[in-house]
Amino acid sequence: MSAVADRLTELGLVLPPVAKPVAAYVPAVVTGNLVYTAGQLPFVDGALPATGKFGAGVDAAAGPALARSCALNALAAAESAIGSLDRVTRVVKVVAFIASAPDFTGQPAIANGASELLGQLFGEAGAHARSAVGVAVLPLDAPVEVELILEFA
């Protein structure tokens, strides 16, 4: 078993199968020593556990777990492109899109679900730049979407 897989097991998590794209794109692209993932929704067993907007029906307390699911899906996409997450040498950037009511300002706390998972999995190499962006709506009415840029060797 790999070191990242061991950490996932310790956290009680499993890397899901790569989510099937919902439009005309691929889950991840490699260029040089970077892998870019497409934005990943919080699919769990092929379904969205929540839909809608934070601040208008979706409880912000559920946000970090939803963002973590997005990150797991993004990691699955990355692994499919590079073969093993043990090759990751640095999490470079995380972008979290959070479907938000106009007065909702808790986007950073929701994005922390993805960021904290990456820190738990990759240690110091998991420290990253990040954007947490409030948006009006996301595909399939998902409440959050996360994309990653990872460096690998």
The residue ranges of every structural domain in the chain are 3-16+37-152
For the stretch 41-62, pLDDT in tens is: 999 999 999 999 999 999 999 9
CA 106/CA 90 separation, integer angstroms: 26
pLDDT-based confidence at residue 127 (cuts at 50, 70, 90): very high
Residues 105-134 have a mean pLDDT of: 98
Residue 87: exposed, middle, or buried by beta-carbon count in 10 A (0-12, 13-18, 19+)? middle
Residue 30: how many other CB atoms lie within 10 Å = 13
> pTM for the full model?
0.97
Pick the CATH number of 3-16+37-152 from 3.30.1330.40, 3.60.15.10, 3.40.640.10, 3.40.190.10: 3.30.1330.40
Average pLDDT in the 83-93 region? 98
For residue 102, give the DSSP letter.
T
